[in-house]
Amino acid sequence: MTLLTGQDETDLPGGRSRSGAAWGLNALGIAIVAFWFVKNGIALQHPAWVWVLGAVALAAWALREFGRTPRLLVVAGVLMIAAGTLTVVPTDSLMIVPVIVGIVLLGANLRVPVWAASVAALAAIVVVAVSASIEHASVQFVLGTSGGTLLGVLIGFSRRQFRIAAERAREAERDQQRAELLADRSRAARDIHDVLAHSLGGLVLQLDAVEALLEAGRVDDATKRAAEARALAADGLAEARRAVHALRDDAETDAEADAGRSAVPHRASRPTTDPATGLAALVDAHRSFGGEIVTQGDTALTDLDAAHRAAVVQVVREALSNARRHAPGRPVSLSVIRDGDAVDVVVANPLSGGGHGLLGMRERFAELGSGAAVEADRSDDEFVVAMHLPVDELAAEGDRP
């Protein structure tokens, strides 16, 4: 029978989750109890009310196996306990089996109060004791049936605890999935912010230059600048689409974005975020926008691994975009300094403002989980973005003669 099975009955419609073996065991249990109920009833010539109540208890047991709604399951359990209890003494304790099954059903059902099975068991014990006293049954008979009902309470409580633990595990898994989804969305939003900040900021500068060139009558130069602005806008749109579809792992969209990127000639104003390229493309892009930048150190970032290099590229791109927006035409310094087992990358420009990008910088470094840190704050008359990253020992050893 299913008294000791660990099947969770709350997964299928109506709170059922039954394996084929559980169905078979319950069907076998119903058949065995029904057989002996009929055989003993004929031999002992049970009165009509015993036949009726016994049939109700067995029918409720069968209903429990085929019930599809929580309310129907509770009704089946109550009927098994009530009808079975009244026939325990006349059937010489045979009908204690559906009583125990009903108590287990109530005790394991999370939709029923935890005390319901204990109250039902106590009521069953009282009814059996009274019936046994009327029929002059032995004390051992009452103790045996009482032990069976108490066993049902313990089994029901055990199964309830198992289901509670399983439900908590499922809830924890759902919370984890929800947290991962929110993290993915935050990452996509951060990428979109970075792309738009760079692309739109550069586009504004390019269009300003086009306007100035047209006013000066330099049509050819203005046409060249307009073409660069169009390429920058197309690249920014492709990057934004890629970030939007990242949550859905849309390979087809990525392929289209790559195709759109390859269809337009590469320009310095369109920096790639490929970690292998380091900071060179960003520096060239900033200069193509008319910005002034002084670099110091290894802008290829050869001492960092790919993940840290990519984070640095993204943060520097954001810092340069902020510099162009808030301090246009002012000089920017970019320093890459090896300090023992760490690399410090510092971007500084005259006074700049804050924004969502600063939060995105910190989030990028927090995701690395390596102790890498980034700080962005005012220092005297400059706005400084400082990064501190661990050296990739394998990469560093590869650069040694």
Is residue 151, in this structure, part of any structural domain at all?
yes
Is residue 98, in this structure, part of any structural domain at all?
yes
**Mean of all residue pLDDT scores within the chain:** 77
26 and 168 assigned to the same domain = yes
Is residue 50, in this structure, part of any structural domain at all?
yes
In sequence order, which ranges of 217-348 are alpha helices (DSSP H)? Answer: 219-245, 251-263, 280-288, 306-326
> 352 and 384 in contact (C-beta within 8 Å)?
no
Of the candidates 322, 334, 337, the one whose C-alpha atom is nearest the C-alpha of residue 293 is 334
250-273 pLDDT, tens per residue? Answer: 444 444 444 444 443 333 333 444
Structural domains counted in the chain = 2
- The sign one gets for the Cα dihedral 83, 88, 91, 93 is positive
275-304 pLDDT, tens per residue? Answer: 556 788 888 877 877 778 889 888 888 888
154 and 48 assigned to the same domain = yes
Burial of residue 151 (CB within 10 Å: 0-12, 13-18, 19+) is middle
- The sign one gets for the Cα dihedral 11, 16, 22, 24 is negative
| Cα dihedral 41, 44, 48, 54 in deg (nearest 10) | -40
User: What is the end-to-end Cα distance of the chain in Å, rounded?
Assistant: 75
Is residue 229, in this structure, part of any structural domain at all?
no
**19 pLDDT above the threshold of 70:** no
- In DSSP terms, which residues pair with 377 in a beta bridge? 384
372-392 pLDDT, tens per residue? Answer: 888 887 877 788 888 888 887
% pLDDT > 90, the chain: 12
**Tokens 């000639």 belong to which residue?**
265
Residue that finishes a domain, picked among 178, 208, 232? 178
Is residue 294, in this structure, part of any structural domain at all?
yes
Is residue 10, in this structure, part of any structural domain at all?
no
36 and 154 assigned to the same domain = yes
Euclidean distance between CA atoms 117 and 47, whole angstroms: 29
The predicted model gives 138-152 an average pLDDT of 90
CATH number for position 322:
3.30.565.10
The predicted model gives 137-143 an average pLDDT of 88
Which element (helix H / strand E) includes 63? Answer: helix 48-66
Distance of CA 277 to the CA centre of its chain: 34
285 and 159 assigned to the same domain = no
Euclidean distance between CA atoms 38 and 42, whole angstroms: 6
29 and 174 assigned to the same domain = yes
Distance of CA 185 to the CA centre of its chain: 12
166 and 280 assigned to the same domain = no
Euclidean distance between CA atoms 355 and 352, whole angstroms: 10
Predicted TM-score of the model (pTM): 0.51
Is residue 257, in this structure, part of any structural domain at all?
no
Is residue 333, in this structure, part of any structural domain at all?
yes
C-beta atoms surrounding 24 within 10 Å:
12
Residue that finishes a domain, picked among 129, 162, 178? 178
Residue 265 sits at the vertex; the CA angle it makes with 262 and 267, to the nearest 5 degrees, is: 120
DSSP per residue, 94-113: TTHHHHHHHHHHHHH-TTS-
Residue 385's domain comprises: 276-401
> 94 and 112 in contact (C-beta within 8 Å)?
no
The predicted model gives 92-121 an average pLDDT of 90
Residue that finishes a domain, picked among 178, 196, 223? 178
Of the candidates 136, 133, 167, 201, the one whose C-alpha atom is nearest the C-alpha of residue 357 is 201
